[in-house]
Chain A
């Protein structure tokens, strides 16, 4: 299959990445060669094969529902790009 510039622009928006028109052209070319390469997977007969999400099977790991030490507010806010005394600051979400 072949991805167009428009397809890649859509993916970039989904991925929340701004791409310039020049980057878009480069990425489209590169993504197409990678997608062509991974298409080799279609050669493998996987009829009835269960997908494998993890190499090592671990299921239903439980722990006691006990409260631990939470991060302090100051620790949580310490790396904020923009903040006030009590929270993170972002551009308005609602019009």
Chain B
């Protein structure tokens, strides 16, 4: 039961074959048996069982049940859930319980979903391996010596390991798509503005977007529909109608034109990943799509532009954690290092609280962003990065005049070993080389399973589309999914 899709679970609950309570009990058992994977940072079985019983009662009484009625959804630990621990996997927010629900959480509740625990992540969503977590890394269910990707590694692993059929993550530079790829599940980053960010604890506000993880596209469409749409509480959420994604999923796109991105097949791409993606291109060709080679000439500037823009926004967003109104406050902030006696007590309290509360990657990015915005450097770094950002967006606009969907690998390599990239921040940053430009441009991106390496590690296929073309993205991906069985593969441990 634990490896069922959400659609299958719904059918079995509707027919009376199982109850939501039985489903969540089985998943809680599984999460308990697989504790060593370190997927959840907070899991409250009693609260989960209460939610499940409430939906079961509704269903039994013949009352209307929401579109996710009784389906467990695991939640990345940066989405605010009223009264429940929400920590961003950081010491800074240890014990923090938000006074309100994120809009996506309100929508899940309204859809009668079961909020199934908070998942591990890189601290404040900064990282590509879930190793930057104050709770220790999550292990990849396919190979426990490897990372699950990041920053939404816990949400990807929860689905891969059969602990929840659905989960929510956030994607600022690839944090949904890259973990989805290396955990062998589907992950979707919607268009910037498609899903409300209200109650998402901010990392880089012009890049962050919430999106679903699932085993397959039907489940992805179901969850996207539940969370998408304009929200008055997020002024950047866009007032555009939300298509009925599940309804249109099986309509094959007509006159499909696919662009294969030349720059996504360069140096550093693992040969097994390259050949799996080439197989996908052949499949689309056989299915009747027009295949075109497309160039995004500014792609190679994506990572450098991102590592100015994202840290700049992060340094501003994370200034709020100063130990005054919530979050960690140091016990002892008396002067310790030379010169500190000249710093006002209140400022010292903030400096020491932040030093104790944040891990090294968060500190690095705050300092990098502070530097990039500082007097004398803002033009050279920040404004330059924003100009390059427009060039990157221009590349995509030009490409989407020629083709409907762009195709390439999601991650240049399969899951890497724990500890392999922690010593060198730059090598970690390059994990996101193919995903990062979509965030800078604001366009939607999807990763679907498209193969396994000789070492039995999942490979992800990335599809990108123009703003608000999620429907076409899902339908295009469905052509591949229908013709292959990669989405049905599960890690051996999850059998």
Q: Is the interface of B mostly helix, strand, loop or mixed?
A: helix
CB-CB under 8 A from B207, the residues of chain A are 55
CB-CB under 8 A from A21, the residues of chain B are 337
Interface size class of B (residues with CB under 8 A): 35 or more
User: At the interface, yes or no: B426 with Cβ under 8 Å from chain A?
Assistant: yes
Of the listed stretches B26-34, B259-267, B300-308, chain A binds B300-308
- Closest A residue to B443 by CB, please name it: A55
CB-CB under 8 A from B343, the residues of chain A are 13
Cα distance, A81 to B341, chains bound together (Å) = 24
Interface digits, A56-93 against B, CB 8 Å rule (1 contact, 0 not)?
A: 10100101000000010001101111100000101111
- Residues of chain A from 1 to 57 with CB closer than 8 A to chain B in the complex: 3, 7-8, 11-21, 27, 30-31, 33-35, 37-44, 46, 49-56
Cα distance, A39 to B377, chains bound together (Å) = 12
Q: Is the interface of A mostly helix, strand, loop or mixed?
A: loop
Cα distance, A59 to B410, chains bound together (Å) = 32
User: At the interface, yes or no: B47 with Cβ under 8 Å from chain A?
Assistant: no
User: At the interface, yes or no: B327 with Cβ under 8 Å from chain A?
Assistant: yes
Contacts A41-B384, A56-B191; is A14 near B441 (CB within 8 Å)?
no
Residue of B97, B307, B350, B389 near A78 (CB, 8 A) is B97
CB-CB under 8 A from B348, the residues of chain A are 18
Residue of A34, A37, A76, A81 near B329 (CB, 8 A) is A81
Is the pair A31, B324 in contact by a Cβ cutoff of 8 Å?
A: no
Interface size class of A (residues with CB under 8 A): 35 or more
CB-CB under 8 A from A63, the residues of chain B are 232
CB-CB under 8 A from A91, the residues of chain B are 345-346, 349
Sample (12) of A-B pairs whose CB atoms are under 8 Å apart: A19-B355, A31-B368, A31-B371, A34-B426, A38-B305, A38-B307, A52-B386, A54-B236, A55-B439, A63-B232, A76-B99, A92-B346
Show the binding face of B for A, using Cβ within 8 Å: 95-97, 99-100, 191-193, 206-207, 232, 235-236, 238, 298, 300-301, 303-305, 307-308, 315, 319, 322-329, 336-337, 340, 343, 345-352, 354-355, 358, 363-364, 366-368, 370-371, 374, 381, 383-391, 393, 425-426, 439-443, 467
Q: Given A17-B355, A92-B345, 12 other A-B contacts at CB below 8 A? A: A11-B367, A16-B351, A17-B354, A34-B426, A51-B389, A52-B387, A52-B389, A55-B192, A55-B442, A81-B327, A81-B329, A88-B325
Show the binding face of A for B, using Cβ within 8 Å: 3, 7-8, 11-21, 27, 30-31, 33-35, 37-44, 46, 49-56, 58, 61, 63, 71, 75-76, 78-82, 88, 90-93
